[in-house]
Amino acid sequence: MAIADLSPHPTALVTAHGGGTAPAMRFGRRPALAGAGLEALFAWVDDIAELTQPARIHWVDGTRGENEALLRQQVDEGKLIKLNPEWRPGSYLARSHPSDVARTEARTFIASEREEDAGPTNNWAAPAQIRATITPLFEGSMRGRTMYVVPFSMGAVGGPLSHIGVQITDSAYAVTSIGIMTRVGTSVIEQIAAGKPWVKTVHSVGAPLVDGEQDVAWPCNDEKYIVHFPDTLEVWSFGSGYGGNAILAKKCFALRIASVIGRNEGWLAEHMLLIRVISPEGRSFHLAAAFPSACGKTNLAMLRPTIPGWRVETLGDDIAWLRPGDDGRLWAINPEAGFFGVAPGTGETTNVAAVETLWGNTIFTNVALRPDGDVWWEGLTEDVPAELTDWEGNPWTPESGRPAAHPNSRFTVSAGQCPQIAPDWETPEGVPLDGILFGGRRATNVPLVVEATDWSHGVFLGSTISSERTAAAEGTVGELRRDPFAMLPFCGYNMADYFGHWLKVGQKLRFDRAPRIFQVNWFRKGDDGRFLWPGFGDNARVIDWIIRRIEGRVPAVDSPIGRLPRTEDLNLDGIDVSDDDLRELFAIDRDLWLQETALTEEFYETFEGRVPAALHAELAALRFRLTRSA
């Protein structure tokens, strides 16, 4: 129902900031359902309204008409710019405040009861103490604004691998983004009414409007917090309107909170893409892959192979939930409904499938605006427009000496628009995994591809994922940014315990049905600083070898670090990779690897004895094999 068509009526009185009372007004229809679950939901909504003191409440029903009304409202308020429908139908541009352009990781907390349960890789806060800190910030934070109640499902509503939640927010931008990224609607309310557990998430931009104060295009607050309460399954976010901080269903729920739920229930919430690879013979294989930022994750999710006969269907680009099945296999779903991708670097030569996905019905944030009403960002096209309006609304030319689009500018679009989305990508049961890939951006040491010898060794590989901080030409092995399983910012509990949980999940799988684990590295460089591997669509040649290993059609070469391909088993037809480059792509420098084992031991020691003994054993075995290979 469109907001403009609704008449407000008073509900319970809420306490105004500083004393007195102010009536909260309800827009939208409170669900006309009953049940113990809804009683708890209604009581929670009333509690948040009493705390934040909104001018009105809107229960989001997820309908198309409601979404269109919210978009029109934001255009009328100057918060969105409607793009030229001839070039980008149904699409909009948002410009954030320059101080609110990325995840606020320094102010992101895990508020577990015990500090050791959060672990050294998370910012920990005592629950009572952090509540005492953030509750005053939320007091009256929604004054003059609409409080939206957004019921959402991660995964198909009612699916066996799905979970649900409710987000309260005072940002219409967040509401329309959540509508793309999740399944929103009354069907979720029905799940709550039936007693299904749900996660509570609260978000405020922290910019109350007092006494008719004029709103701004991007309200936010200099004070920012994102606090996760894993013991009570809650998320509270204050001060930021940026997607990663405001779409709480995404990283906050789908990874940090879901990783805790998965630990408790025996499954895994992972920062992984999900694809179906179809061989020239028509056989299908399902792969999940965990890569840190800037390591080719989205490109692999929408891979277009350069070798004839192979096809890739996209199932998900960012998050996968993995659950052991009764059949001994590991099943996976993409719990999201959309893509929230980085725009710069996404272009016609790097990821044509992503570009084709953005034909319309997209919310862009912090990209540049063309004079014809379309959008542009660095890397979209080889030709740079002669003039643009940059992401801050200022005139821009190629001589301006600054990026036209913010480096973290984003697009939010339905996954269903991807031209190579799998036809069954929303199947509630998910797909059975044949392989799991881990990868980082390494200029040295790590080969193009290596196969783990078994599940325990694969978990060891995942725990050691890292990328060089420095320019690859420097090749400094010691300066590594650790990102185990690409989950360092997203694991909701002690990461050493998370390693142990991976080992436990492996024990639930049949040894002959568990997915095979591989480590890949598209970014190894030669001494001259150039990439040794062409990457992009040619990464399908590595996938081809991985699939043939899964099928048992080609042998592998044992090495101290794992199983490597024979070069003659790689399909290199049509690309120019010299014999010297091939040797370097798979070269193992014993001394450098021994240095790396020392760094891994140092990393493990930060967990103060909680790293599983099995991983210490893998590290010791690696050192032994390296020493023996001398």
Report pLDDT for 478. 42
Sign of CA dihedral 619, 622, 627, 630: negative
pTM above 0.85, yes or no: yes
Q: What is the pLDDT of residues 496-516, one digit of tens each?
A: 999 999 999 999 999 999 999
pLDDT of residue 307 exceeding 80: yes
Question: Quick one: how far is CA 471 from the chain centroid?
Answer: 26
Q: What is the pLDDT of residues 338-393, one digit of tens each?
A: 999 999 999 988 899 999 999 999 999 999 999 999 999 999 999 999 999 999 99
User: H helices within 139-257, ranges in order?
Assistant: 172-181, 186-193, 243-246
57 and 174 part of one domain: yes
pLDDT of residue 410 exceeding 60: yes
Element (H, E) at 69: helix 64-76
pLDDT of residue 471 exceeding 60: no
309 and 364 part of one domain: no
Annotated active-site residue 295? The verdict is: yes
Coil, strand, or helix at residue 124?
Answer: strand
Domains in the chain, number: 3
- In this structure, is residue 86 part of a structural domain? no
569 token code pair: 């088993």
In which band, very low, low, confident or very high, does the pLDDT at 445 lie, cut at 50, 70 and 90? very high
Residue type, 186: T
510 and 402 part of one domain: no
Of the residues 417, 452, 477, which one is the last residue of a structural domain? 417
- In this structure, is residue 81 part of a structural domain? no
Instruction: Give the range of the structural domain holding residue 151, as residue numbers without chain letter.
Output: 3-76+102-265
Which of the following is catalytic: 220, 252, 295, 491? Answer: 295
For residue 204, what is the DSSP state? E
Report pLDDT for 29. 65
Rounded Cα gap, residues 611 and 617, in angstroms: 11
- In this structure, is residue 160 part of a structural domain? yes
User: H helices within 167-314, ranges in order?
Assistant: 172-181, 186-193, 243-246, 258-265, 297-301
440 and 305 part of one domain: yes
450 and 326 part of one domain: yes
507 and 381 part of one domain: no
Count Cβ neighbours within 10 Å for each residue of 450-471 and write b for 16 or more, e otherwise: bbbbebbbbbbbbbbbbbbeee
